[in-house]
Amino acid sequence: MPNSVIVVGNPANTNCLTASKSAPSIPKENFSCLTRLDHNRAKAQIALKLGVTANDVKNVIIWGNHSSTQYPDVNHAKVKLQGKEVGVYEALKDDNWLKGEFVTTVQQRGAAVIKARKLSSAMSAAKAICDHVRDIWFGTPEGEFVSMGVISDGNSYGVPDDLLYSFPVVIKNKTWKFVEGLPINDFSREKMDLTAKELTEEKETAFEFLSSA
């Protein structure tokens, strides 16, 4: 992916969309924003709960904005337990935690780290940037997908067109593609729509500012 642009600074999604609009000579598919830190945090929370390593957890999804409305989704995630791969929901058998504390912990992890350390999680962010770039360059492992803020096309998972939204993607030959066809339950739909609404509002505000500048 030549001329690949990765945006990290917050509000990362809307900054990335603004950058894309400001550089029309670069294909919009070459712009992405970092939601890998949230993705890694979601994996870590599941691993901690099950007493395994984060590398034993795969296919979590961060939907939407890199903000407190993001939706960490483990409905399609797998975990390796005693050499066998099972669904995270099946492994944990704790619907209340997965729909409650798990979601809010991932959503608010950045703020919690700053409150505890009086510093941002710079090392975790740097690791996530390395993961993001490595997967763009080398591709995602077979059978695995990752989360990345990319431009929506209006045809995937009911997300409005032309939003910079975090989706599950697979990457091959330095090109990302949406993971299509994952079933979305009502709980997920509500969370995904909420974060899309926030991104739509951010986009409108940003573009008002750009047009008046």
- Annotated catalytic residue 39: no
Would you state the torsion angle of the CA atoms of residues 25, 27, 30, 33, taken in this order, to the nearest 10 degrees? 80
Beta strand 5-7 pairing with 31-33: parallel
According to DSSP, the residues that pair with 151 across neighbouring strands are 164
d(CA 8, CA 32) in angstroms, rounded, equals 9
Catalytic residue among 39, 66, 76, 132: 66
Distance CA 157, CA 4 (A): 25
User: What's the chain's Rg over C-alpha atoms?
Assistant: 17
Q: What are the catalytic residues?
A: 66
